[in-house]
Amino acid sequence: MVVVGAGTAIVMGRQQSLAGRVELWLETATPQQRPNRCTRHEIGPPSIYPIECARVPAPSMQENPPMSPTFASLGVPARLCERLDVLGIADPFPVQAATLPDALAGRDVCGKAPTGSGKTIAFGLPLLARVEKAAPRRPKALVLVPTRELASQVQDQLMALCWGTKTEVLAVYGGAGMDRQMRALAKGVEVVVATPGRLKDLLERGSLRLDDVSIVVIDEADRMADMGFLPEVRRLLDLTNKKRQTMLFSATLDGDVDVLIRNYQTNPVHHEAASLEVQGEVTHRFWAVSHGERIEVATAIVQRCWPAIVFSRTRHGAERLSKQLNKAGIRSEAIHGDRSQSQREKALRAFGKGDVHVLVATDVAARGIHVDGVACVLQYDPPATDKDYVHRSGRTGRAGEPGTVITLVSPEKEKDVRKMQRELRRREPIETATVATAASILAATPAPPVDRGDGLDGVSRRERARAEDRPRSARSARPARSARSDRSERPARPERPARSARPESPARPERPARPERPARPSSSTNPKPTRGKGHRKGESPRAVSEGDWTPRPKPASTGGKAKPGRRPTGAGAARPGRPASGNARRRSS
């Protein structure tokens, strides 16, 4: 018999095995964990022989620190947990701990998380845990990404997680051989990681169907909206199974992304997580340069601050700028949409190893470049939107290292750059730079930003919540208007004298009524002569009655002969002075 009261467990004689386990625990416990010992006489009747027992505190009294969740406690299958241990991934990131239980349960998930927060594992584990065996050309899961580089990275991580299983993962994107992708789809692939453009081409060729897709993941949805891919994404989602599970991950959930959530997700669970990556101090500078000195100023910058990423607006401009930097003795490579995937991967590997000092890229690669140690981001062409500025500048200042972002502002772009600064709430002044002063300005301390006293330096207008959460006392106090107080002190205006009554004007005499005009005779009483036509030139045909209408005579029949001035029917028909030939001769015979 076991008697429990006031947090004390009494072990009686017939439960010797339980007492043995308690004794074993008392021997292995640390001094801090070992409870106070007492004898049986202290807490029980004296007739029972003394048996040493332990006073175990109640569960509410035990001091157990909160344990961080593990992948197993979140519901991840054992085979995937073993694979995570092999890869050295022990603890889940915040976005993974927040989204995994709902995603594994099959619910629609909407996650807001920046780049580098562990989103791939957050949607990769539920996808691999719930995916089924696929038939040829009928995948079961679809992951949509905006760029080729991101598609390749997602494929590598998913293949590492499902290593040793029969789950096949295929990445389809432009710049790679389509025949190899079509052959792999014909064998049967469970998970397809695709860019919208290449997936559309494969659907038009009949290489796959999306009817059996029951799990859809949309990664970097805000970047897809910026690149104009959302209309194509909507058309692709319409081809999938209506009872699918849709997981969407994005850095922002406004604008077009919000429309995608409302129309293609069913009661989604919203989660938001911050990035665990330590951000270094990033210096933002804006330099006003002339059009003719941009290339010399850019060369002076990357000679003193590298490795650097230079962003160009167009593909042709990126290729030309790379050649000009190589001619100046700076090792550089270009990465843009016209280059094949192998060329882009080769350039990224060389830049990561340090063999290439400068990487010239377009906006399409702003989210596909994940390289630590980038010292400078040079915006040779200013970005078109404030979002592009954030994406570009995010390539530096990673892993806690400092970075510099320099934007070259030409005279015709100054108005647009100032507007972008207002959107981003950046207070840095636009400094004037030339080829002679570029090195000195780069070495000097940047000019301090203009402080407006609102505490929102570097905060974009999209983040209104921060301004609303601040106490009103912290906001800049506006000076009280004194205009209304001055109005009360002004002397009153003198009243205007009343106007004298004007004399009434005499009534005007009434005009005599005009005599009525005689009625116009109708066409039946006074018919108009016709000249073979229904009506005269410039006269409406409605004024002519049906009785006076004279139709145009039909041309007389020519008896099958060709009209003068027209070519006879048939290329080989007979003409005056030439016999029929070819098919016309056969028909005549």
What is the residue whose two structure tokens read 């009686």? 12
**How far is Cα 343 from Cα 235, in angstroms, rounded to an integer?**
31
* 247-261, 363-377, 403-417: range with highest mean pLDDT: 403-417
pLDDT at 223 over 90: no
Predicted confidence band at 450 (pLDDT cuts at 50, 70, 90)? low
Alpha-carbon separation of residue 546 from 522, 531, 535, 553 (angstroms): 13, 15, 11, 17
Alpha-carbon separation of residue 554 from 249, 261, 558 (angstroms): 74, 68, 12
* 107-121, 349-363, 446-460: range with highest mean pLDDT: 349-363
**How far is Cα 358 from Cα 332, in angstroms, rounded to an integer?**
5
The two tokens of residue 334 are 């270009």
- Closest C-alpha to 140, from 241, 291, 8, 261: 241
Predicted confidence band at 474 (pLDDT cuts at 50, 70, 90)? very low
pLDDT at 436 over 70: yes
At residue 40, the pLDDT reads 37
Pair type for strands 8-11 and 169-172: unpaired
Of 8-17, 369-378, 496-505, 516-525, least confident by mean pLDDT is 8-17
pLDDT at 139 over 60: yes
Whether the CB-CB separation of 118 and 156 falls below 8 Å is answered with no
pLDDT at 539 over 60: no
pLDDT at 121 over 90: yes
Question: Sign (positive/negative) of CA torsion 390, 396, 398, 402?
Answer: negative
Candidate CATH numbers 1.10.150.20, 2.60.40.1180, 3.40.190.10, 3.40.50.300; the one for domain 78-272: 3.40.50.300
pLDDT at 515 over 80: no
Give mean pLDDT, residues 486-506: 56
Fold of 282-447: Rossmann fold (3.40.50)
pLDDT at 501 over 80: no
* 51-55, 148-152, 583-587: range with highest mean pLDDT: 148-152
Predicted confidence band at 565 (pLDDT cuts at 50, 70, 90)? low
Give mean pLDDT, residues 491-510: 60
Same fold, 78-272 and 282-447: yes
Q: Report the 10 Å Cβ neighbour count for 567.
A: 10
The per-residue DSSP string of 223-277 comes to: HHHHHT-HHHHHHHHHTS-TT-EEEEEES---THHHHHHHHH-SSPEEEE----S
Q: pTM for the complete prediction?
A: 0.58
Give mean pLDDT, residues 358-384: 83
Give the H or E element holding residue 3. strand 2-5
The two tokens of residue 205 are 């060729």
**How far is Cα 324 from Cα 308, in angstroms, rounded to an integer?**
15
**Digit-coded pLDDT (tens) for 276-329:** 666 778 899 999 999 889 999 999 999 989 899 999 999 999 999 999 999 999
- Count helices and strands in the chain by DSSP H and E runs: 20, 18
What is the residue whose two structure tokens read 């997936």? 199
Of 245-249, 366-370, 407-411, least confident by mean pLDDT is 366-370
pLDDT at 253 over 70: yes
Of 182-196, 209-223, 308-322, 525-539, least confident by mean pLDDT is 525-539
Predicted confidence band at 363 (pLDDT cuts at 50, 70, 90)? confident
pLDDT at 465 over 70: no
The residues spanned by each domain of the chain are 2-61, 78-272, 282-447
At residue 250, the pLDDT reads 84
**How far is Cα 450 from Cα 418, in angstroms, rounded to an integer?**
13
Predicted confidence band at 485 (pLDDT cuts at 50, 70, 90)? very low
**Digit-coded pLDDT (tens) for 396-429:** 887 678 899 999 999 999 999 999 999 888 888 9
Give mean pLDDT, residues 337-345: 82
At residue 414, the pLDDT reads 93
pLDDT at 196 over 60: yes
Percent of the chain topping pLDDT 90:
38
**How far is Cα 394 from Cα 396, in angstroms, rounded to an integer?**
5
